Structure 1
Amino acid sequence: MRVSTFTRLVALLLSTASLVLVAVLWWASKTLVSLEQQNTHYGALKNDIIIGLSGDIEDYLSTGDAQNLVDAKQRIETIQNQYLPSLSAQLQRQLNTRLQVLLDGIDGDYRALGKLSGNETALLDNALRQMAGSATSLINYAQQAPQDKRGSASRYIELAGDYYQGVLDLSLATQALYQGYSADKQVAVEQAVKQLNALAAEIENTENLGVMSEVDEDELFFGAEPEDLAGDIKAEIRSWPKRYPRDLQSTIEQGQIHQQGIMQLRTEVSSVVDVVIDAEQQLRAAQNVLKQRLLVVFGIAIGLLFILAAAVYWLQRSQVLNPLRQLRDGFATLIESNELNPIVSKNSETEVGEIADYFNQLIERQRNEVRERQEMLRVINEFMSDMSDNLQHIRSGAEQTSAHASHSQTLLGEVQRIGDDVNEVNSQVADNAQHTLTTMAQSLGFADAMLAASSTTEQRIEQGMQSLNQLLAGVEDVSKVLDVINTIAEQTNLLALNAAIESARAGEHGRGFAVVADEVRKLAQQTQASLGDIHAQLNSLSANSQRVSQHIGELATQAQAQTDNAEELKRNAEDISQSAEHANQVAAQATDYAHRQRDMLIEFERSMQDMQTQISASDTRVKDIHLSLQQQMQSIRASLGLDNQSV
């Protein structure tokens, strides 16, 4: 492509891109203005509902002013007429349904909430004031008592003070219960009411003070008589505590109804607010999608501009800049490096291609003259290159050989160190084997002594068993003799008894014989008692002997096991002694081999050092030859004037 054609094409593309960009900017501006208007309209709707409508409802609930409810109704109608038509159909249906429900409630049940929004405890406050007033009236009544009733008047004043304190306690308990219900608070209220009823009963039973009411003359004309003021006061004091639980229950129920209505109203307002907030989120999501589309369109437009710029740059580079650079590089190469290379032109029909063609014809003439001189230099250059390569190979081989020799010396040092370690280990093994032999000899002596001791122990145990068996046999013989003596004692006792009987029959003549018979009988009884003790001791001795026999049997078993263990220990000691002797012999042989290996390694290391010296000298000579060859090649090139020309 010629430069003139390229210039006209670029102007046309830039004009088209400008028109497209203007159209995209106009569409984006119009879309953003529409989004801004939509946000403004919806923000006004949101503020009117969340701030205006909710504020009117809350003001109505807090003050009870019906004008706030009227303002809320007018605001709902304004929202339905002004804002809803511009919203989407789905959002319009949702808001219209909830606003209509709220509007119906404002015209109906919700108007009653304002009437109850004042003092919800007015009924209870009135009852408490009446009870406190009755206590005050009772005090005034007592203060008007005659002089002879001062004692009862003091009692009235005391009861009135207690009644007034009970009213205060009831007021505090009621306030706590109304603020938050709990069983303990309910019990506190009931206790306060019960206390007031008890005080009212005590006041009722107290005698009147004789303070009479005043009667007008007109009432006297109709037969009216003065009455004691205590009757009405006592009736009020008695009636108010009884009525108070009903008033409290009624107040609590009305408060619950009021709170339920308020909660329902706030729930409906909250549902409208929730719809508005959800719709706002949906609107923002839709706007975000639209904004993303705008960004995509802008991205596409900008991308197309970048693509257009890249295409223009590529065309300009390929059709104008590259040919000019090739022409410039050709001139620079000819002047600086004296290399006669032709300039390559992709399109010879352009202005730059024509210039390059004429320039290449001039270069071709110069190359023909240089080609003859290069042919002369080629043979010499090849010979010098081969010589340089051979020297380089020789030098590389010498360096590798030197490196291997150094590594071998390092390995020899490691082998020598390992040999020294092996010698030391062999010495330790030999010492340990000799020590093991000595220790095993001692162990064999200990094992023989243990076997002899075990054999002696078994013999003594056997002798002990024989002696114990003889003892048991003697115990049995003694038991038999004791049985015979016991039989004789029993017969002696019977004979003494018979003798006593016969002496009794003999009367006075047999008295001395009776004394002797009685003594004989006592001796026989003592003999039987002693025989019983001896027999018990023999039984205990026999039982202990049996246990000793059992222990001796167990001891014999353990002695036999000890003998077996001693024999096994002796066998193990003999095996270990043989192994230690063999290890000592092997360690001695290994030490001899290690000494021989060390002598051989020292001789090999000396040979490696001599070879390293020879390799270093050869490497130095090769470096000198290679440097001299390079200097000669550079001198030949300089003399022919071919230092910067290619072959």
Structure 2
Amino acid sequence: MRLKLLTNLNTLLLVAVCLALGATLWWSQQALERPFLLMERYLSLSQQFHNTVARNIEDYLASGDALRLSDANSALDTLKNELTPLPPALADALRPSLENLSTYSNSELLAAGKLAGDPQALLLQAERELSAGLEQLGQYASDATSNEARAYLPLLFTASQHLAKLSLAREKLVSSGRSELAGDVERELDSIELQARQIDALPLLGVSSKSASGTDDFAAMMGLDPTETTQAEDAGIALKRELNSLLSRYPAELKRTRDQIEQRSQLSAATHLKLNAVQQAIAGLEPVVRAEHGQIQNEVRLIQGLMIGLILLIALLIDTLQRKLARVLTYLAPLLSTWAEGDFSRDIQLGKTNRELRDIEASLNRLRSYLVNLVGTLRLNAEQVAGSSRTLAELSSGLHSGAERQAGDSAQIRDALGELEATISQVAG
């Protein structure tokens, strides 16, 4: 691989590390936001169900207001639509209970509006009428002048006491919903009936009342003259008849009220079972949501760990390449120093490396060969110059010896010429 490619590879790896690190941080932020959004949706779903569905249904059971039930059904439809952003596993776990509650609300709960309201209203009205009847009988006895009227008062007082106890027992029965308390109501009712029978057995007191009766409207339309008759009748007869009629109707009203209370209790229990099923399904989502949060955190840790491992691997790769180049340079420095000292005995062997270093190796080895040849040539020429120098030295020494001999010969000739000149002078003289 070329050195330029290695440099580009290092740069590319560093850029890739930066990009991967940025992408990891962005993904981690997005991933960690998911559990918080999921928890927020879960809490919103739970609060919305409690505030808009459960509360409206309970208000509907208490008041029978159809608008409350309509609001609850609308809230259920909204909740079912809000399941879409949730993960499929969470939505599938909650959807069946919501569908079941919605079906129940649109069928059985919708038809149960007639059971709402005060179930003891009819009994209250009957008790008020009984109380009014007893008061009228008391007034009847007070208007009488005979001694038999005194027998009415204790019986009416006792009946009024039992009527008060009847009201108290009825209120306990309705408020508690316990069927065993119906015996107290029936016992007080039997006591009132006993007093009524005793009152009915008492003689009339001779207090009369007048009742006017007219012909019907049809006779008036036909142009006939209506005749009015006035008939005198003892008032005690009608009062006793009305009291017995009220007492005979009360057990039926009591049974109807008990049935209504029981139906309301069953309906309320069934409704609360449906609501509890949804609430339990919503509550069951909490550990799943928390587990989802933990799973996402583990995924983030895993991705970050892999990213750290990748960064370390890239750093190790870059360090390996740099160490390899540094090792080559460390190997070349002392070898070139020996060459500088004139020792060309070792050539350069870098082993397996990149193309540029192999080219450097070949160039340096060629330089070594050139320097070896150059030094050899210089040494040979130096030896030749040294031989020529020795020859010239010997030649110079021979010339010097010849010159010295010639100088000696010249001195001898000069001496001989001097002697010859002296001889000639002597001869001439």
TM-score normalised by L of structure 1 = 0.43
| Residue pair 2:10, 2:318 contacting (<8 A) in 1 also | yes
Match of 2:206, SS state, is: coil
Instruction: Give the aligned residue type for 1:64.
Output: G
| 1: CA distance, partners of 2:204 / 2:35 | 88
Which residue is 2:49 aligned to?
49
| 2: CA distance, partners of 1:164 / 1:57 | 40
1:117 aligns with 2:113: no
1:252 aligns with 2:258: yes
Which residue is 1:181 aligned to?
178
User: Which consecutive unaligned segments of at least 5 residues does structure 1 have?
Assistant: 1-6, 321-346, 359-647
Structure 2 CA distance for partners of 1:284 and 1:256, relative to 1, 3 Å: same
Instruction: Give the aligned residue type for 2:166.
Output: L
Instruction: Give the aligned residue type for 1:233.
Output: L
| 2: CA distance, partners of 1:168 / 1:58 | 32
| 2: CA distance, partners of 1:85 / 1:311 | 47
Q: How does 1:353-364 map to 2 (within 5 A)?
A: none
Q: How does 1:407-556 map to 2 (within 5 A)?
A: none
| 2: CA distance, partners of 1:105 / 1:13 | 63
- Taking CA–CA contacts closer than 8 Å with sequence separation of 6 or more, which of the two structures ends up with the larger relative contact order? 2
Which residue is 1:59 aligned to?
59
| Residue pair 2:32, 2:296 contacting (<8 A) in 1 also | no
Q: Which residue, out of 285, 288, 291, partners 1:279?
A: 285
| Residue pair 1:46, 1:276 contacting (<8 A) in 2 also | yes
Structure 2 CA distance for partners of 1:180 and 1:259, relative to 1, 3 Å: closer
Which residue is 2:349 aligned to?
none
Structure 2 CA distance for partners of 1:218 and 1:25, relative to 1, 3 Å: closer
1:69, distance to aligned residue in structure 2 (A) = 0.8
How many pairs are equivalent? 320
| Residue pair 1:159, 1:199 contacting (<8 A) in 2 also | yes
1:132, distance to aligned residue in structure 2 (A) = 0.9
Which residue is 1:214 aligned to?
210
Q: How does 1:548-587 map to 2 (within 5 A)?
A: none
| Residue pair 2:177, 2:261 contacting (<8 A) in 1 also | no
Match of 1:213, SS state, is: strand
1:123, distance to aligned residue in structure 2 (A) = 1.8
Which residue is 2:136 aligned to?
137
| 2: CA distance, partners of 1:49 / 1:305 | 49
1:42, distance to aligned residue in structure 2 (A) = 4.4
Q: Which residue, out of 216, 226, 229, partners 2:232?
A: 226
Which residue is 2:82 aligned to?
83
Which residue is 1:512 aligned to?
none
Structure 2 CA distance for partners of 1:233 and 1:304, relative to 1, 3 Å: same
1:127, distance to aligned residue in structure 2 (A) = 1.7
Structure 2 CA distance for partners of 1:172 and 1:299, relative to 1, 3 Å: same
| 1: CA distance, partners of 2:46 / 2:185 | 47
| Residue pair 1:197, 1:241 contacting (<8 A) in 2 also | yes
Task: Indicate the RMSD between aligned Cα atoms, in angstroms.
Answer: 3.9
1:37, distance to aligned residue in structure 2 (A) = 4.2
Match of 1:127, SS state, is: helix
1:96, distance to aligned residue in structure 2 (A) = 4.5
1:127 aligns with 2:126: yes
Cα distance per residue 1:67-105 (max 9 Å; x no partner): 11111122223333x324434555555544443433333
| 1: CA distance, partners of 2:101 / 2:8 | 71
1:209, distance to aligned residue in structure 2 (A) = 1.3
1:270, distance to aligned residue in structure 2 (A) = 2.5
| Residue pair 1:85, 1:92 contacting (<8 A) in 2 also | yes
| 2: CA distance, partners of 1:104 / 1:308 | 61
| Residue pair 1:127, 1:240 contacting (<8 A) in 2 also | yes
Q: How does 1:270-419 map to 2 (within 5 A)?
A: 270-302=276-308, 350=330
| 2: CA distance, partners of 1:218 / 1:24 | 100
| 2: CA distance, partners of 1:19 / 1:63 | 64
| 2: CA distance, partners of 1:289 / 1:211 | 92
Instruction: Give the aligned residue type for 2:168.
Output: L
Structure 2 CA distance for partners of 1:18 and 1:49, relative to 1, 3 Å: same
| 2: CA distance, partners of 1:190 / 1:34 | 64
Which residue is 1:68 aligned to?
68
1:160 aligns with 2:156: yes
1:23, distance to aligned residue in structure 2 (A) = 2.3
Structure 2 CA distance for partners of 1:293 and 1:230, relative to 1, 3 Å: same
Which residue is 2:98 aligned to?
99
Which residue is 2:199 aligned to?
203
Which residue is 1:542 aligned to?
none
Structure 2 CA distance for partners of 1:310 and 1:92, relative to 1, 3 Å: closer
Match of 1:207, SS state, is: coil
Cα distance per residue 1:296-342 (max 9 Å; x no partner): 2223434565787899999999x99xxxxxxxxxxxxxxxxxxxxxx
Structure 2 CA distance for partners of 1:61 and 1:138, relative to 1, 3 Å: same
Which residue is 1:625 aligned to?
none
Which residue is 2:188 aligned to?
192
1:14, distance to aligned residue in structure 2 (A) = 5.7
Match of 1:111, SS state, is: helix
1:207, distance to aligned residue in structure 2 (A) = 1.5
| Residue pair 1:152, 1:207 contacting (<8 A) in 2 also | yes
1:241, distance to aligned residue in structure 2 (A) = 3.1
| Residue pair 1:60, 1:69 contacting (<8 A) in 2 also | yes
1:165, distance to aligned residue in structure 2 (A) = 0.8
Instruction: Give the aligned residue type for 2:100.
Output: V
Which residue is 2:26 aligned to?
26
Cα distance per residue 1:45-79 (max 9 Å; x no partner): 33332332112212212222111111112222333
Structure 2 CA distance for partners of 1:292 and 1:168, relative to 1, 3 Å: same
Instruction: Give the aligned residue type for 1:255.
Output: I
User: Which consecutive unaligned segments of at least 5 residues does structure 2 have?
Assistant: 1-6, 216-225, 339-429
| Residue pair 2:64, 2:116 contacting (<8 A) in 1 also | yes
Structure 2 CA distance for partners of 1:259 and 1:52, relative to 1, 3 Å: same
| 1: CA distance, partners of 2:328 / 2:92 | 75
| Residue pair 1:113, 1:262 contacting (<8 A) in 2 also | no
| Residue pair 1:91, 1:279 contacting (<8 A) in 2 also | yes
| Residue pair 1:134, 1:236 contacting (<8 A) in 2 also | yes
Which residue is 2:407 aligned to?
none
Instruction: Give the aligned residue type for 2:110.
Output: R
Cα distance per residue 1:417-457 (max 9 Å; x no partner): xxxxxxxxxxxxxxxxxxxxxxxxxxxxxxxxxxxxxxxxx
Structure 2 CA distance for partners of 1:217 and 1:88, relative to 1, 3 Å: closer
Match of 1:271, SS state, is: helix
Cα distance per residue 1:373-424 (max 9 Å; x no partner): xxxxxxxxxxxxxxxxxxxxxxxxxxxxxxxxxxxxxxxxxxxxxxxxxxxx
1:134, distance to aligned residue in structure 2 (A) = 1.0
| 2: CA distance, partners of 1:230 / 1:269 | 56
Structure 2 CA distance for partners of 1:286 and 1:165, relative to 1, 3 Å: same
| Residue pair 1:124, 1:244 contacting (<8 A) in 2 also | yes
1:138, distance to aligned residue in structure 2 (A) = 0.9
* Larger fraction in helix: 1
Percent identical = 28
1:166, distance to aligned residue in structure 2 (A) = 0.9
